Amino acid sequence: MPIQWFPGHMNATRKAIAERVKTTDVVIELLDARLPGSSANPALTGMTAHKPRLKILNKQDLADPQRTAEWLAHYQGQSETGAIALDASQTPPAQRKAIIDACHRLAPGRGGLAKPMRVLICGVPNVGKSTLINTLSLKRQAKAADEAGVTKQEQRILLADDFYLYDTPGMLWPKIIVPESGYRLAVSGAVGRNAYDDEEVALELLAYLKTHYAEALRARYRLPDGEPVANQPDEALLDAVGRRRGAIVSGGRVDAQKAAEALITDFRGGAIGRITLETVEEFAAWLAAGRRAEAELRRRREEAQRARQGSAAGRGR
């Protein structure tokens, strides 16, 4: 079932971003380094197309280093776009300098008290914006939590005497047309818990991990040698995860819900290993398929509407 989540405050956020962009010098989009394509908000593209953009791949310490390098090169190859990667191991001064320097490269004409740099930072929910801002500002200015939708209004943070950072609430987009992205956003915590089924998301995660990170799965959950992990059914792997993580109920059965929660928690915390759930090429293929499906859906709706209009006109004669 496709995952969708766009609560009312996100529409207000979209309008606020569109207004703030008018006086912004650089737009930062904070991405999850484990899903750099799926966590990039397509709704921002039109609103920020005329502004320099900085893509920050956050949580790179949890992501596959080789894939992070490929995604950085991908974004750096786009017009008026810079890209850097950050993680919690870097000191606050190093993180602050990396961001400020990257913004000045994108907008070299801004700086100094007469022309302070004005930067807007956006991102999907739970991508780490509030934590990053608190780290950069060396004090708690933004409320942070391991759940989606905590920040509800814009905040202005002073990173330097001539550098203003405007923080916005996490925002998704009205319709996620790439099903794979919906699952990845859910497993990362960017989607509210009421919008998805844990077991369904966990099975989707296992289907990808067993193909691309089989040895990491085997090591984390001590899967037996013999049959290749990639050949095992997703349900059997979830059962193995549940047994290893103690999700056992009466009769020795595995509680699939608890097993799914344990797997998702392990992924979010990096317990399985450094994992990235999509390559540049994979995401491009998923996006192309999603756009084709969306175009076909619009065509069918338009045909149905024309048919209804024709039928109504016939009855009126």
Q: Which residues pair with 152 in a beta bridge?
A: none
pLDDT for the residue 148: 43
The 3-state secondary structure of 241-274 reads: HHHHCCCECHHHCECHHHHHHHHHHHHHHCCCCC
- pLDDT given at position 1: 57
Beta-strand relationship, 163-167 and 155-160: antiparallel
Q: How far apart are CA 317 and CA 310, in angstroms?
A: 11
Under-50 pLDDT residues of the chain: 144-152
**Position 178: which residue type?**
V
83 SS3 class:
strand
Token readout for 103 is: 């913004």
* pTM score, whole prediction: 0.88
